[in-house]
Structure formats: C-alpha cells, structure tokens
C-alpha cells in the first residue's frame, strides 16, 4: 500500500497542475498582457503535449528501470512547472506547460503497469484506481487550495508549490518503488501498431468518447449553473467540490467493480450511468438542489470509467509481446486527453451558437458513441486470447481478473 501511495502522490501533484490553471487563467492573462482566450491555449498545449509527446517518451523510457524512469519524469514535471512559474511571457508559459504535459502522460503510461505489478492480479483494478485517486483528490483538495494560494499571493506561487510536490513525489517513487530490470523497449512503430488490433483500437475510442463526454459540459459548467440554476460564483465553487468528491467515489468504485465483475462490465455500467445522469441534468439544471444532487451522481459515473478502461487496455496488450502493456497504457492516456480536447471543443462550438443548457446533448452523443463501441468487440479479443503473463510475471487470462472470467462464462 505504501508503495502505491508514492504513485498516488505523483498523480496528485499532476492533477493540481492540470486542473488549477482554469481558476488562475484571468490572473495569468493579466500578468502576461494577453486576452483570456489566448491564455486558454495553455490548456490546449498541455493536452496536446500529453497526446502527442507521451507516446514518444513512453517508447523511449519503457526499456529502462521503471523506478528510474518514473523518478526522472517527476523531476521533469517539476522543472516544467518551475518554468511556468518563472516565465515572463506567454511563449515561456507554453513551453513549460508542454514539458509538464509530456511528463504527465508518460508517468501514467509507465505507472499504471507498475501499480498493477505491486499487487496480486485480482487486485490490479484497485491498484490502478489508487494511482488515479491522486487525480480525483487533486480536484477536491488541491485545485481549490491552489486557486486560493494563487489568489492570495500570486499565481506563480501555486506553480512553485506544484513543482515542490513533484520533486517530493520523485523522491518517494525512488525510495519506495522496487527497482526492476528494464523491459524490452517498444518502438514508436510497434506502439502505434497496437492500434491495428481491433479490440485495443475500440478500447481507445471508448476511452476518448466516454471520458471526454464529461468535459463537453464540465468545461462550461459555471455559465450553465449561474444562468439556469441561479448559483453565485461561490456557489459554483461548492458544486465543483461536490463533483470532485463524487469523482473520488467513482474512481474507487470503478476499481472494485473492475476486479469483481470485469472491465467491460464496469465500462458499460459507467457509460449507462453517465448517459442517464447527463439526460437528467437537462431537467434538473433549473433547480439548485436537484442540480447539485444530479451533478454528484454524474461525477461518480464520469470517473468510474477511468480505472476500467486503463485496466482493460493494459490487459489486452499483454498478449502482444514484452513492453506492450506500457505502450498500451501510454496510448490510453493519450486517448483520455484527445477526448477531453475534442469534447470541450465541440461543447464550445455549441456554446458559441446557443445556450450552455445544450452542452449535455453533446456529452450524451459522445457517451452513446462510446457505448456503441463497446458493442463492437472490445471483449471479443479477450475471449480468444490464451493465458499470458502480466507485468508482474503471473499467469492469467487477458482481462486479468476472476470477475472477467466469470463474466465470459456467463456470456
């Protein structure tokens, strides 16, 4: 457990860096003398760095000792945030965000298989969920605290603190994660070749569409709540705290459900709940209390999918040779962020041409497409694949847990 917590700390510092920027954008825009829309490119650059650069770093670093690679990546993450804190202009900020984003994606790509290897195979989903817990706790605790610090003593101080947390996480990983021989490196060509496998490609599409769906609404939640539910800015902050707490519950539930009933079952449960809660939001958004309750339910299902798709991608990739788990994990992280970018952009187009109340329709469309993709065969490969070795070297079927085996028998 203590070893896993070092990865949770890494994810916590990464989560603050990713999400706190939204609350600090006005201050940053004023400080570097640019408009809010242009400053918003810092969010885009971060997501693109995760999507485009993480597979390259994963390809390179997958051949080294994971402890060394993860510690070095967290140091690089800290350096990127220090660059953001010290940059006098927008270009410097973008470069710092790109460095931090590249490290972000690769930490999760390499860290998820390490988390799974630290526990018995039937607890792999919960181990990965514990790592992802750092992201969700960052939304509940770290982001409000970081925003408060930035408001009180300046936004640069927030990024200095994030950099310090990154360095502490680097030391914790070095001290607690056991050293292991580096595996066979995965070339970028081989990494991208995983996309030719139907089940994996469909899993990545489910990740992008299913996880991204939330951000078609979440990105523009403040105007929706202030315009329709009558919330003040302070009230919206508390609703966001409620949403963040719900994502923690959803993340942990997703890990347990994946272990007990299988990843595919957990994915479909998450998507069905997401569709229902988003549809309900179009009714409850005019009522403050009902909207808050609805948003809490939405938050549970929004993050229930995270450990399930990550576990499923790693398990499917295990049949495709040494190092494939890390490559698959990295591509899935890229899919998370590609989905966030696509859904938030699409939601923005709807917002530009109408009312924020229409953004749930975009999210529902994304989630329905993801649910349709699960019917397209993400589990078919698991049924055909013989036993193989997990990152920890133990033998099990592709889904990597007894719950998936029982689900396949029932089907």
Q: Decide: helix, strand or coil at residue 117.
A: helix
For residues 261-286, b (16+ Cβ closer than 10 Å) or e, as one string?
A: bbbbbbbbbbbebbbebbebbbebbe
pLDDT at 322: 60
1-183 topology per CATH: Growth Hormone; Chain: A; (1.20.1250)
Q: Decide: helix, strand or coil at residue 232.
A: coil
DSSP secondary structure letter of residue 387: -
Distance CA 390, CA 120 (A): 10
pLDDT at 188: 66
pTM check: above 0.85: no
pLDDT at 400: 37
Tell me if domain 1-183 and domain 194-411 are identical in fold.
yes
Residue 79 phi/psi, 5-degree rounding, is -60, -45
Query: What is the rounded end-to-end Cα distance, in angstroms, of the chain?
Result: 34
| Best CA proximity match to 77, nearest among 113, 53, 60, 41 | 53
Distance CA 357, CA 228 (A): 8
pLDDT at 37: 58
pLDDT at 184: 59
- pLDDT beneath 50, residues of the chain: 380-411
Tokens of 314: 């790693």
- How many CB atoms lie under 10 A from the CB of residue 53? 19
Distance CA 124, CA 315 (A): 10
pLDDT at 290: 94
Tokens of 378: 């993400």
Residue 404 phi/psi, 5-degree rounding, is -70, -35
In DSSP terms, 396 is beta-bridged to 388
pLDDT at 310: 82
194-411 topology per CATH: Growth Hormone; Chain: A; (1.20.1250)
pLDDT at 366: 95
Q: Decide: helix, strand or coil at residue 72.
A: helix
Tokens of 14: 């990464």
Beta strands 388-389 and 395-396: pairing type? antiparallel
Summarised one tens digit per residue, pLDDT across range 31-46 is: 999 875 577 678 778 8
Summarised one tens digit per residue, pLDDT across range 132-142 is: 788 878 878 88
Q: Where are the domains of the chain?
A: 1-183, 194-411
DSSP secondary structure letter of residue 94: H
Distance CA 182, CA 201 (A): 26
CA angle 394, 254, 246 (to 5 degrees): 150
pLDDT at 382: 41
CB 56 within 8 A of CB 46: no
**C-alpha 162: how far from chain center:** 18
pLDDT at 191: 65
């Amino acid at each position: 457990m203590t070893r896993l917590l070092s990865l949770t700390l890494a994810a916590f510092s990464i989560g603050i860096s990713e999400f706190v920027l939204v609350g600090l954008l006005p201050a940053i825009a004023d400080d570097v003398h640019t408009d809010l829309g242009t400053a918003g490119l810092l969010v885009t650059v971060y997501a693109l760095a995760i999507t485009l650069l993480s597979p390259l770093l994963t390809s390179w670093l997958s051949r080294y000792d994971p402890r060394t690679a993860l510690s070095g990546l967290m140091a690089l993450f800290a350096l990127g945030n220090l660059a953001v804190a010290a940059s006098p202009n927008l270009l410097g900020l973008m470069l710092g965000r790109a460095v931090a984003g590249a490290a972000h994606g690769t930490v999760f790509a390499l860290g998820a298989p390490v988390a799974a290897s630290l526990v018995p195979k039937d607890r792999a989903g919960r181990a990965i969920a514990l790592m992802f817990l750092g992201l969700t706790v960052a939304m509940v605790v770290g982001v409000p605290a970081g925003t408060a610090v930035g408001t009180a003593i300046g936004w640069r101080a927030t990024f200095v603190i994030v950099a310090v947390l990154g360095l502490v996480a680097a030391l914790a990983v070095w001290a607690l994660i056991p050293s292991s021989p580096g595996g066979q490196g995965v070339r970028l060509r081989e990494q991208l070749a995983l996309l030719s496998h139907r089940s994996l490609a469909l899993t990545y599409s489910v990740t992008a569409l299913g996880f991204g769906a939330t951000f078609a609404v979440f990105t523009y939640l403040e105007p929706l709540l202030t315009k329709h539910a009558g919330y003040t800015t302070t009230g919206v902050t508390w609703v966001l705290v409620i949403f963040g707490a719900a994502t923690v519950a959803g993340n942990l539930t997703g890990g347990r459900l994946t272990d007990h009933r299988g990843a595919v079952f957990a994915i479909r449960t998450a998507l069905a709940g997401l569709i229902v809660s988003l549809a309900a939001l179009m009714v409850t958004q005019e009522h403050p209390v009902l909207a808050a309750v609805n948003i809490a339910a939405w938050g549970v299902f929004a993050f229930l999918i995270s450990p399930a798709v990550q576990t499923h991608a790693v398990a499917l990739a295990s049949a495709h040779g040494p190092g494939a788990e890390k490559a698959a994990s990295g591509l899935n992280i890229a899919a998370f962020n590609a989905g966030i970018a696509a859904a938030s952009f699409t939601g923005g187009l709807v917002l530009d041409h109408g009312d924020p109340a229409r953004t749930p329709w975009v999210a529902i469309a994304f989630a329905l497409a993801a649910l349709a993709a699960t019917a397209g065969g993400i589990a078919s490969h698991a049924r055909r694949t013989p036993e193989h070795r997990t990152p920890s070297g133990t033998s099990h079927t592709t889904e990597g847990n007894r719950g998936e085996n029982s689900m396949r028998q029932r089907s």
